[in-house]
Amino acid sequence: MDRLNRYAPASDLLFRTLFSLIFIVGGLGHWGQHDVMMARLQDSPWLDWVLLLGDPSLLMYISGVTFILGGIGLLLGYATRMSALVLFATLLPITFVIHIAPDHVGPLLKNVAILGGLIHFVVRGPGAYALSGDRGA
């Protein structure tokens, strides 16, 4: 096991990089696939709750920007804990609104796993090769 520890810094960077792509690509989708995503939202059993928060289209654009910026923060290891916390706060309501619906168990569990990954970064920090210099635990 000690022999594998030498790969820990590279693993930190690889995990942060691959994980950040979920948010960067997903955030771009909030812009590039806006109509498709709005149609999905219209089918949500929780649409009335979203309408209480504001214009769903505007909220989609805001969450897209949040995903892109937070994903870049994760990628670079810059303000990693804050990026992960903001992404968590953005993803949690999206998970409830979109994925707690019939026939959405797979996407729901995917988002639950992603939320777990975000908790990892909030608690442990970025790990090695981070711009912030905060390697975490």
- For residues 13, 17, 19 and 20, what is the CA-based torsion angle, rounded to 10 degrees? 130
Q: Is residue 24 part of a domain?
A: yes
Question: What span, in angstroms and rounded, lies between the C-alpha atoms of 21 and 10?
Answer: 17
Q: Is residue 135 part of a domain?
A: no
- The tens digit of pLDDT for each residue in 95-106 reads 988 887 777 778
Q: Looking at residue 1, what is its pLDDT?
A: 65
Q: Is residue 137 part of a domain?
A: no
Count of residues making up the chain? 137
Query: What's the pLDDT band for 2 if we cut at 50, 70, 90?
Result: confident
- The tens digit of pLDDT for each residue in 73-113 reads 999 999 999 999 999 999 999 898 888 777 777 888 999 99
The total of structural domains in the chain comes to: 1
Q: Is residue 132 part of a domain?
A: no
Q: Is residue 7 part of a domain?
A: no
Residues 6+ apart with CB under 8 A from 14: none
Q: Is residue 130 part of a domain?
A: no
Q: Is residue 70 part of a domain?
A: yes
- The tens digit of pLDDT for each residue in 20-70 reads 999 999 999 999 999 999 988 888 888 898 899 899 999 999 999 999 999
Q: Looking at residue 98, what is its pLDDT?
A: 82
Q: Looking at residue 136, what is its pLDDT?
A: 60
Q: Is residue 131 part of a domain?
A: no
Angle between helices 34-42 and 8-32 (to 10 degrees): 80
Q: Looking at residue 112, what is its pLDDT?
A: 95
Question: Which structural domain, as residue segments, surrounds residue 22?
Answer: 12-124
State the average pLDDT over residues 117-133: 93
